Chain A
Amino acid sequence: MNAPSRTLNFITPLAGLMLAVATALVLFYAPREAVMGEVQRVFYFHVAAGWVGMLSFLVAAVAGGMYLARPRARLDEVAVSSVEIGVVFTLINIVSGAIWARPAWNTWWTWDPRLVTAAVMELIYFAYLMLRSGIDDPERRARLGAVYTIVGFLSVPLTFFSIRFFRTLHPVVIGVSDPAAVGGFDMTPRMLQVFLFSLLTFSLIYISLLWHRVRLERLTRKVEEAKQQRMAGGAA
């Protein structure tokens, strides 16, 4: 397998460094929120993880659409890699949200529209990974996967807009929250700076992880091909 490109060798440590800086900013630079106290600092990475989750599913849907228009193995590799990363980051978003909810809402979990739509979105993409592992034919797997990423993407805007359309406990970060929302706050300029830096950091982590994961997918394909060649050689 080819060695990682110079860009990847640059992006990966940069993403690590930015994560360290973002953590320091979250803990020491961002002001303490008056009502919720220290736990509100989870917000910066909680939202950034949610952003990466949704971005991953968008990239997968775009790659899926492009695959249907013009089948290329590379596009399928991008789609499956992006979905896997999206599932991990959505899980981070849900778990960190539950930990924040305990002191803010006095419960780890509630059947709120945002929480339910996020959990359904996570399950939809988890099912995508399970479905793929059950199909042996690579072309059929890629075609079905492409259709799934496009249809499954419907869950992403539904999750994003759930706090704007339905009556909910979950506050809106940018815009007007529902009057019933609990745990909302107005961002000070310092909070906004840390929030934007966290979003940038997590976006860079996503790019780096996607690149590494696509390389892994290509390696998997190479192993499969080598196995098939060996089997064909053995049969002859």
Chain B
Amino acid sequence: MTAFWQTADTAGYLVLGMAAIFGLMTLYVLRLRSRSRALRKELEELQRTSAQKK
């Protein structure tokens, strides 16, 4: 394998590794955000219905 292809090969694995690291971190942050948004909405709904009953 020439030096060029050897560099391209290891650089490819570097890109894959970085994509996995940033991808997983981003997925987790997005999941936290969506959970937070859903819970906030649910809490508002619960507070609204309990205020209506009173």
Residues of chain A having any CB pair with chain B under 8 Å: 1, 23, 36-42, 45-46, 49, 85, 88, 91-92, 95-96, 99-100, 102-103, 205, 209, 212-213, 215-216, 219-220, 222-223, 226-227, 229-230, 233
Could you tell me if B13 and A219 are in contact, using CB atoms closer than 8 angstroms?
Answer: no
Known: A88-B24, A88-B28. A37 touches B50 (CB 8 A): no
How far does the alpha carbon of A42 sit from the alpha carbon of B14 in the complex, in Å? 6
Known: A216-B39, A219-B36. A37 touches B10 (CB 8 A): yes
How far does the alpha carbon of A99 sit from the alpha carbon of B43 in the complex, in Å? 42
How far does the alpha carbon of A69 sit from the alpha carbon of B50 in the complex, in Å? 37
Q: Quick one: which of A103, A215, A227 contacts B13, CB cutoff 8 A?
A: A103
Instruction: Report the nearest A residue to B16, measured CB to CB.
Output: A99
Most chain A CB inside 10 Å of its own CB: which residue of B6, B11, B21, B39:
B21
Instruction: Report the nearest B residue to A208, measured CB to CB.
Output: B29
Q: Which residues of B contact A92 (CB under 8 A)?
A: 20-21, 24-25
Could you tell me if B20 and A230 are in contact, using CB atoms closer than 8 angstroms?
Answer: no
Could you tell me if A212 and B20 are in contact, using CB atoms closer than 8 angstroms?
Answer: no
Interface size class of B (residues with CB under 8 A): 20 to 34
Nearest Cβ in chain A — how far from B13, in angstroms?
A: 4
Could you tell me if A226 and B10 are in contact, using CB atoms closer than 8 angstroms?
Answer: no
CB of B2 within 8 A of chain A? no
What are the interface flags for B9-41 relative to A under an 8 Å C-beta threshold, 1 for contact and 0 otherwise?
111011011101100110011001001100110
Q: Which residues of B contact A100 (CB under 8 A)?
A: 13, 17
Instruction: Please list 23 pairs of residues, one from A and one from B, whose beta carbons are closer than 8 Å in the complex, sorted by A's number.
Output: A1-B40, A37-B6, A38-B13, A39-B11, A40-B10, A41-B14, A42-B17, A42-B21, A88-B24, A88-B28, A95-B20, A96-B20, A100-B13, A103-B10, A209-B28, A216-B35, A216-B36, A219-B40, A222-B43, A223-B39, A223-B46, A226-B43, A226-B50
